[in-house]
């Protein structure tokens, strides 16, 4: 099985991202659409070693929580806490303008696909992940937030 975000999935995400506007409101949560895009960009940055994150994982979070969250639950639970490095109110990267964040996120999928597995960094809550695990996590995470904003 591929460990990249395949072209069909990427095109589907890009089509959904193109439906967002700077004024799109979330169906739940406190983030603005620009904050959500910056939040997702931070998730990609962490995986790609472009943003430092502290690995606070343990055996339970890696071997039990990760597979349940990514492979068992049909969707992310709404309102769950995130790692401080991804939290826009804590250590998350402040959003630039909407269009910059949007374009950056579209490019991050390509950068992720090009990155060698050995250069990926641990997730702050789930620890060391294979490229396939990172891909599955990022795809589910992005889908969650696109649903949050109605696309």
**CATH 1.20.120 correct for 7-148:** yes
First to last CA, the chain: 27
> Residue 86 has what pLDDT?
87
| Six token digits for residue 77 | 């639970």
Residues 6+ apart with CB under 8 A from 22: 33, 34, 97, 98, 99
CA distances from 98 to 47, 52, 67, 68, 129 (A): 22, 23, 32, 32, 30
Residues of the chain short of pLDDT 50, as ranges, are none
> Residue 1 has what pLDDT?
55
> Residue 95 has what pLDDT?
94
**Domain ranges in the chain?**
7-148
pTM of the predicted model as reported, rounded to 2 decimal places: 0.93
Tens of pLDDT, residues 39-60: 999 999 999 999 999 999 999 9
> Residue 25 has what pLDDT?
97
CA–CA separation, 115 and 110 (whole Å):
9
């Amino acid at each position: 099985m591929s460990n990249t975000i395949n072209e069909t999935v990427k095109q589907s995400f890009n089509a959904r991202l193109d439906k967002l506007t700077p004024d799109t409101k979330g169906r739940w949560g406190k983030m603005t659409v620009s904050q959500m895009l910056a939040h997702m960009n931070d998730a990609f940055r962490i995986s790609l070693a472009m943003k430092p994150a502290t690995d606070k994982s343990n055996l339970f979070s890696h071997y039990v929580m990760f597979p349940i969250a990514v492979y068992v639950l049909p969707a992310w639970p709404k309102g769950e806490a995130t790692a401080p490095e991804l939290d826009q109110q804590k250590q998350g990267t402040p959003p630039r303008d909407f269009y910059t964040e949007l374009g950056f996120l579209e490019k991050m999928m390509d950068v992720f696909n090009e990155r060698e597995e050995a250069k990926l960094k641990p997730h702050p809550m789930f620890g060391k992940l294979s490229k396939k695990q990172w891909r599955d996590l990022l795809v589910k995470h992005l889908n969650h937030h696109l649903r949050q904003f109605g696309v």
